[in-house]
Amino acid sequence: MRRLILPFAALFASPALAESFDRPIPQAQSATAEFWYAMACIALVVSMIAVQKLVSRR
């Protein structure tokens, strides 16, 4: 059994069997996604301003 392990490991670990890595191509964002991202950014800024005002009162 041990004599079979090395040839099988060499055969199956061969780089000829491996596929080349294809980098994923990023997709463009849709207009809807850009709108919701803008709304989230505005909400974050507004919430940070609200926290600053709340903390500065104390």
Q: Which residues form the domain of 47? A: 29-57
Instruction: Say if 45 falls within a structural domain.
Output: yes
For the chain, the domain total comes to 1
Instruction: Say if 43 falls within a structural domain.
Output: yes
What is the model's pLDDT at position 1?
66
pLDDT in tens for each of the 58 residues of the chain? 667 777 777 766 666 556 777 888 888 889 999 999 999 999 999 999 999 999 997 6
Instruction: Say if 53 falls within a structural domain.
Output: yes
Instruction: Say if 4 falls within a structural domain.
Output: no
Taking the C-alpha atoms of residue 42 and residue 49, their distance in angstroms, rounded to an integer, is 11
- Give Cβ neighbours of residue 29 (< 8 Å, ≥ 6 apart): 37
Task: State the pTM of this model.
Answer: 0.51
What is the model's pLDDT at position 42?
98
Instruction: Say if 35 falls within a structural domain.
Output: yes
Instruction: Say if 17 falls within a structural domain.
Output: no
